[in-house]
A and B are shown apart, each in its own frame.
Chain A
Amino acid sequence: MCLGIPGEVIELHPEQPDLAKVNVSGVRRMINIGLLSDDPPAPGEWVLIHVGFALSKIDEQEAAATMQFLEGTGQAYEDELAALKASVIE
């Protein structure tokens, strides 16, 4: 049900609009992008691959937003740690 891997679209199949070649860490596979026919991916875009089909496009902005939250958490953690340390020294 769940195994979906992000892959980068390298090229669209010249004759079959449903097919595209993706790159996952140097490994290349032809997948079916028919489920994204409303907004087909272009080379350079990333998709989520599941059993040979692209299920969804990976939204780079959302990914960045999530990373920002996670990084912000990291920074806030550092700040809190620093504050904690500072408050101990009386």
Chain B
Amino acid sequence: MSKSWIDEALAQSELGHEGLAAEGRRQLPLADREQQVLDRIDRARRRRPKVREERVTMSHGAGGKATHTLIEAVFLDAFRNPLLEPLEDAAQLAVGGARIALTTDSYVVSPLFFPGGDIGDLAVNGTVNDLAVSGARPLYLSAGFILEEGFPVADLQRVTQSMRAAAERAGVHVVTGDTKVVQKGKADGCYINTAGVGVLERDGNLGVAQAQPGDAIVVSGPIGDHGITIMLARGELDIEADICSDTAPLNGLVADLLDAVPGVRAMRDATRGGVATILNEIAKAADMGVLVSEDAIPVREEVRGASELLGIDPMYVACEGRLVAVVPGEDADRAVAALRAHPLGEQAAVIGHVRAEQPGIVQLKTAFGGTRIVDLLVGDPLPRIC
């Protein structure tokens, strides 16, 4: 932020100032004044996003508010077109009569190898999943490698073998690729970029904007496994736990779900930003309220323990093999049954519902019985001592 960021913030708020003059405001009864302030905040939140920072920070990569602002203010602004606008996990294209889905992802995880998988697994599974949750049958992947000078060839082979095995498991093929090498100090060993193509064979359009009051929100299994695994694998926290990444290809699971419930409204791959981010995306895109129940959300004991120890909320922690689905209320039980019948969906559960009240806002009913708002984080969930 620039040195005068405070002055800028104050000046900007003057520009956006609406409503009565201060004295006029004070005449209103207390509850109305509070409501005015809340309305003002809501309007400010819905305003066109603007990137205030001069430089990209780690927050921009976390999948939260900063990322969304960057995407909307920079990328969407520049590339604007109707195919990009929905900002779903994959773009849905019509090419010569066929409907295809196209997605892209980059993998920059560190460490490259961790309990439950490696960057190669993530690269294949992540791309397959983006296609699957868009309703497509994943077919072909590209794999671009950016390698750091000095990276051991043995590690590269290990990563590619993982990708081969993952591709086989998912039923896709890597059909094209690229290799670049950069100087020592860049690329953290190895970065991978992928693009994925799948075919949209089913009728109907999936999209979170279609969520309607009464819809159920379903998650396919326990959350937070991957993100916590990575945090612990970085070795800085000296914590031992039997947690491993949940990275997995979800196309089989998705197919089962869509077979059982063709009326699924939307699905999302819960990656960075966690389940909380997806719930907010649903609320915002559909302009609906979302209410979820804390004790309905599956979390492994160890993930809970590690999160409590670090002061992190598992709802914001990345997964790599979990989907969140929005299904019509009457189909909820059938959806959960279909998911649970599949090995990757054993602990699937309904975690909440879409509703008309409080549009755009995600609320959580705590295990304790009270309610609180689950907002987008600005950046990554940070371990806290307070």
Q: Which residues of A contact B (CB under 8 A)?
A: 1-3, 5, 24-30, 49-52
| Cα–Cα distance between A24 and B238 once the two chains are bound (Å) | 13
Q: Is the CB of A1 within 8 A of B386?
A: yes
Q: B310's closest neighbor in chain A, by CB?
A: A3
B386 touches A3 (CB 8 A): yes
| A27 to B386 CA separation, bound complex (whole angstroms) | 20
Indicate if the CB atoms of B308 and A5 lie closer than 8 Å.
Answer: yes
A-B contact count (CB 8 A): 46
User: In the complex, A49 Cα to B309 Cα: how many Å?
Assistant: 8
Chain A residue at minimal CB-CB distance from B232: A27
The answer to whether B309 touches A29, judged by C-beta atoms less than 8 angstroms apart, is yes
Interface residues of chain B, those whose CB is within 8 Å of chain A, are 237-243, 301-302, 304-306, 308-309, 311, 384-386
CB of A27 within 8 A of CB of B306, answer yes
Q: Which residues of B contact A30 (CB under 8 A)?
A: 238
Judge whether B238 and A29 touch: CB under 8 Å. yes
Cα distance, A76 to B323, chains bound together (Å): 45
- Is B385 a contact partner of A27 (Cβ separation < 8 A)? no
Q: Report the separation of the CA atoms of residues A25 and B309 in the bound assembly, to the nearest whole angstrom.
A: 10
Question: How far, in angstroms, from A3 to B384 measured CA to CA in the complex?
Answer: 7
Whether B308 lies near A24 (C-beta < 8 A) is yes
Chain B, residue nearest A51 (CB):
B385
A74 to chain B, nearest CB (A): 14
Taking a contact as CB atoms under 8 Å apart, the answer to whether A25 and B311 are in contact is no
Picked from A2, A24, A26, A29, the residue with its CB within 8 Å of the CB of B386 is: A2
Between A5, A26, A49, the greatest number of chain B beta carbons within 10 A of the residue's beta carbon is seen for A26
Chain B residues near A3 (CB-CB < 8 A): 311, 384-386
The complex places the Cα of A56 from the Cα of B265 at a distance, in Å, of 51
Given A3-B311, A30-B238, residue A24 in contact with residue B305 (CB < 8 A): yes
Known: A3-B386, A50-B385. A25 touches B305 (CB 8 A): yes
A28-B385 contact given A3-B311, A5-B308, A49-B309, CB 8 Å threshold: no
Which 6 A-B residue pairs are closest in the complex by CB-CB distance?
A: A25-B305, A27-B305, A26-B302, A27-B241, A28-B240, A24-B305
Q: Tell which of A1, A26, A29 touches B385, judged by Cβ atoms closer than 8 Å.
A: A1
Starting from the known contacts A24-B309, A28-B239, 16 additional A-B residue pairs (CB-CB under 8 Å) come to A2-B385, A2-B386, A3-B311, A3-B385, A5-B309, A24-B306, A24-B308, A25-B302, A25-B308, A26-B301, A27-B305, A27-B306, A29-B237, A29-B239, A29-B240, A50-B385
